[in-house]
A = this chain, B = another copy of it.
Amino acid sequence: MNFVEKLVSASGKNNSLVCVGLDVDRKLMPENISVLEFNKAIIEATSDLVCAYKPNFAFYEAMGNVGLEALKKTVEYIPENILTIADAKRGDIGNTSKAYADAIFTHFKFDAVTVSPYLGFDSVQPFMQHKDKGIFILCRTSNAGAADFQSLVSEVDGKEMPLFEIVAMKAEEWNTNGNIGLVVGATYPEELKIIRQAHPHMPLLIPGIGAQGGDLETTVRYGVDSKGELAVINSSRQIIYASKEKDFALAARQAALTLRDRINIQRGKLKK
């Protein structure tokens, strides 16, 4: 099963476009629980409600080897039928990107990864060569600084386009193995609409709803493909830190369920 098939299968089985961001933060977690125990409890409570889990490497690296060991065991613990996305935003020259791809796909055994496009084709290619794995290229990120460079307009093939659209166009060109998707933040709905219209068949990983402020209904309307699929809508803090008390797993389940249902109501409206 390749990456897109796994995504469609997971979102179909659980009737869900929800991705849970496993961005662990000791200050926000209940006390007296290890990172791995916390993640396991979150996964147990939500794995029938989501299509993907997306741990961000930064939070694990900040804990040193203890964190990275917990990350590896977390990936192992995620049920086989759910997509695992390494939010790593890597990107380096060819032989170095190859080592990153080995780390993420071979050592950690993730199904997919986020990569940064700044270094161009040969920085993405070593990831793409893992044909059964998925590569989400940063296109329009969800943060305030996104516009600093991603909105700069250049002329390509006689047409003026902002950088993030050029990145998406190039990503589509590079996508000969059918395993590339794009990261587009929910905080920029007009940009999300443009990208979905220009790339109707690419999976979109969409962060930025919830704590970051992206509107959910607009995100669903602009983000899904013509079948109401291929959008991976991420929520991190709003789900995993729904409660800091002993009931955190149950609270996470409730938050994931609410988000899934709100998304599905919107998907239902689109089908009409």
List chain A positions with a Cβ less than 8 A from chain B.
23, 56, 58-59, 61-65, 68-69, 72, 87, 89-94, 96-97, 99-100, 102-103, 106-107, 116-124, 138, 141-150, 152-156, 163, 166-167, 170, 212
Residue among B63, B142, B147 making CB contact with A93, cutoff 8 Å: B142
Bound Cα distance from A117 to B120, whole angstroms = 13
Work out how many copies of this chain go into the complex. 2
In the complex, the answer to whether A145 meets B166 with C-beta atoms within 8 Å is no
Instruction: Find A122's partner among B96, B97, B121, B145 (CB 8 Å cutoff).
Output: B145
Residue in B61, B145, B167 whose beta carbon sits within 8 Å of that of A119 in the complex: B145
Contact between chains at A107 and B64 (CB < 8 Å): yes
Give the complex CA separation of A117 and B100 in angstroms: 19
Closest B residue, CB atoms, query A207 = B93
Q: Given B65, B120, B145, B146, which contacts A65 in the complex, CB threshold below 8 Å? A: B65
Bound CA span A111–B149, Å: 27
Which residue in chain B gives the minimum CB-CB distance to A174? B148
Complex contact B122–A143 (CB within 8 A) = yes
B120 & A146 in contact (Cβ 8 Å cutoff): yes
Query: Does A118 lie within 8 Å of B61, measured CB to CB?
Result: no
- Whether the pair B149, A118 counts as a contact (CB closer than 8 A) is yes
